[in-house]
Every structure is written in structure tokens, then in C-alpha cells.
């Protein structure tokens, strides 16, 4: 049971880590990797921005390895929490929001509509500065209100 709480807790903490990374790294010194993600109609299957998936995958893989081969098995479940967040990020951000794959095209879910609106606001600013809505799963209530969803 403790391992399940560890995995869920890490998953939730990853939203804060993602927000901080997006605001201060991707829109900071890592802009050279993230900039193509803000270009409209970027024509390639892969973006330089996809390198951030590797950045988050490395600690997860390392924790799986360490947790599997040492007595500290909780490390495995920390890695699992990071992996689960990465999968959720991929499905929500790349599949649902940016439509990089043609899955989940016709959703009427209120939360997902508000999430897409918040992300559109983030991409409204094409540059490095003055963006907002840096998280992925947490949606400020104002986006639900703007869509008349609550």
C-alpha cells in the first residue's frame, strides 16, 4: 500500500516539477529546445522540444534500475510515478491538445476542454517571455468559467 501511495504522490508532485521546468527551463535557458514547439504548423514529426521527454525519462529509468537491484525498492515506485506522469503528459499534451496523433479527436469532456483552452492561452504568446499556464494537468478555474463549463 505504501508503494501505491509513493507512486501516486510522485505523480502529483510531477505536476509541480513540470510547471517549474516549463516556466524556468523551457522558457528560460532551454528555450533553444522548446522554441520550435511554439512555432505554428511545425512540419516535422519530431520537435527539438521532444528532448525533454528524454530528460524526464533518464531519472525514471535510473530509479527503476536502482529500485530493482537494491534493497530500496521504493526507488522503483518513484520511477513508476515519473513514468505514469510521462505517459499522462504524452496522452494529454501531444495526443489530445496538439493532435500529433489522431486519437481522442471528438471529446466533449469539460475538464479536457478547459485544459485545451489553457494550453491555447499558453501558445497564444509565440515567444519566450510573457507566457502563462505552464502546468499540464492542473487547470485554473477561470478556463472552466470562460468556456461556460461551471
Evaluate whether residue 127 is within a structural domain.
Answer: no
Contact predicate 90/97, CB 8 Å: no
Instruction: Indicate whether this model's pTM tops 0.75.
Output: yes
Evaluate whether residue 6 is within a structural domain.
Answer: yes
Contact predicate 77/6, CB 8 Å: yes
Evaluate whether residue 143 is within a structural domain.
Answer: no
Evaluate whether residue 23 is within a structural domain.
Answer: yes
Phi-psi region of 86 (alpha: psi -120 to 50; beta: other; left: phi over 0): alpha
- According to the model, what pLDDT value does residue 120 have? 73
> How far, in Å, CA of 106 to CA of 92, rounded?
14
- According to the model, what pLDDT value does residue 94 have? 77
Neighbouring residues of 107: CB distance < 8 A, sequence distance ≥ 6: 96, 113
- According to the model, what pLDDT value does residue 104 have? 67
Model confidence at 149, in pLDDT bands (50, 70, 90)?
low
Of 75, 95, 80, the C-alpha closest to 136 is 95
Evaluate whether residue 111 is within a structural domain.
Answer: no
Evaluate whether residue 147 is within a structural domain.
Answer: no
As a whole number, mean pLDDT of residues 88-110 equals 76
Evaluate whether residue 123 is within a structural domain.
Answer: no
- Which residue range(s) make up the domain with 38? 2-106
- According to the model, what pLDDT value does residue 134 have? 64
Evaluate whether residue 83 is within a structural domain.
Answer: yes
Model confidence at 91, in pLDDT bands (50, 70, 90)?
confident
Dump the DSSP string for 129-145.
SS-----SS---HHHHH
pLDDT tens-digit map of 50-87? 888 888 899 999 999 999 888 778 999 999 999 999 99
SS3 of 113, please?
A: helix
- According to the model, what pLDDT value does residue 2 have? 85
Contact predicate 137/15, CB 8 Å: yes
Structural domains counted in the chain: 1
- According to the model, what pLDDT value does residue 11 have? 96
Amino acid at each position: 500500500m505504501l508503494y501505491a501511495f509513493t507512486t501516486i504522490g510522485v505523480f502529483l508532485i510531477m505536476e509541480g516539477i513540470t510547471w517549474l521546468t516549463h516556466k524556468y527551463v523551457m522558457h528560460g535557458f532551454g528555450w533553444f529546445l522548446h522554441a520550435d514547439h511554439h512555432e505554428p504548423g511545425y512540419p516535422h514529426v519530431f520537435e527539438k522540444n521532444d528532448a525533454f521527454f528524454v530528460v524526464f525519462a533518464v531519472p525514471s529509468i535510473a530509479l527503476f534500475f536502482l529500485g530493482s537491484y537494491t534493497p530500496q525498492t521504493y526507488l522503483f515506485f518513484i520511477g513508476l510515478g515519473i513514468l505514469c506522469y510521462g505517459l499522462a503528459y504524452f496522452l494529454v499534451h501531444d495526443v489530445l491538445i496538439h493532435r500529433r496523433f489522431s486519437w481522442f479527436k471528438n471529446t466533449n469532456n469539460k475538464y479536457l476542454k478547459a485544459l485545451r483552452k489553457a494550453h491555447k492561452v499558453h501558445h497564444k504568446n509565440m515567444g519566450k517571455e510573457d507566457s502563462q499556464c505552464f502546468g499540464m494537468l492542473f487547470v485554473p478555474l477561470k478556463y472552466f468559467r470562460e468556456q461556460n463549463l461551471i
